[in-house]
C-alpha cells in the first residue's frame, strides 16, 4: 500500500515497533439502555409528526402561536397530543425544532427534529 500513488504517507505505529494499547473490554449495557430509551422517544416523535403531517389546522395553530411567541400555548398544544416525554421546543421565523429527551432526566439519549415552515 505504501507504493500506491494515493497513499504517499509513511506508515507509522506498529511498523516502528510500537504497539497501540488494546481497547478496553466492551460493555453494551449503556448502549442497550440508550436504545431502549430512544424507542420510547421515537414513539413520541411519531405522534407529533403524525399530527403535523395530517392536520393543517393544528399545524397552522402551532405556527401562529409560535410566531406570536406564545411559548406556553405551543408547549400545551404539543403536550395535548398525548406524548410521554415533552420536548424542548425552539422556533424562529424559518421553522421549529423539537428536542425530545427522557422525562426522567437521563442524558443517555435524545432525538432532535427540525422542521422548516418557510423558505429563506
**Which H or E run includes 39?**
helix 29-54
86-119 pLDDT per residue, tens: 999 999 999 999 999 988 777 789 999 999 998 8
**Residue-level pLDDT at 11:** 56
Contacts of 8 (CB under 8 A, 6+ apart): none
For the segment 13-39, the average pLDDT, to the nearest whole number, is 79
Q: What is the pLDDT of residues 44-93, one digit of tens each?
A: 999 999 999 999 999 999 999 999 999 999 999 999 999 999 999 999 99
Select from 108, 109, 72 the least CA-distant residue to 89: 72
Residues paired with 30 in a beta bridge: none
> What's the average model confidence in pLDDT over 32-51?
94
> pTM, whole model, 2 decimals?
0.76
φ, ψ at 98 (rounded to 5°): -115, 125
Rg of the chain (C-alpha set): 23
Q: Edge-to-edge strands of the sheet including 95-100?
A: 88-92, 95-100, 111-116
At residue 15, does pLDDT exceed 60? Answer: no
Cell numbers at 64, concatenated: 401562529
Amino acid at each position: 500500500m505504501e507504493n500506491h500513488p494515493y497513499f504517499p504517507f509513511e506508515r507509522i505505529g506498529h511498523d516502528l515497533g510500537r504497539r497501540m494499547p488494546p481497547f478496553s473490554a466492551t460493555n453494551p449495557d449503556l448502549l442497550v439502555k440508550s436504545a431502549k430509551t430512544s424507542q420510547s422517544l421515537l414513539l413520541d416523535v411519531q405522534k407529533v409528526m403524525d399530527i403535523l403531517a395530517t392536520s393543517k389546522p393544528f399545524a397552522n395553530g402551532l405556527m401562529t402561536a409560535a410566531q406570536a411567541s406564545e411559548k406556553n400555548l405551543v408547549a400545551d398544544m404539543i403536550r395535548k397530543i398525548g406524548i410521554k416525554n415533552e420536548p424542548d421546543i425552539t422556533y424562529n421565523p424559518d421553522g421549529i425544532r423539537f428536542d425530545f429527551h427522557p422525562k426522567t432526566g437521563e442524558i443517555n439519549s435524545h432525538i432532535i427534529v427540525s422542521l422548516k415552515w418557510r423558505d429563506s
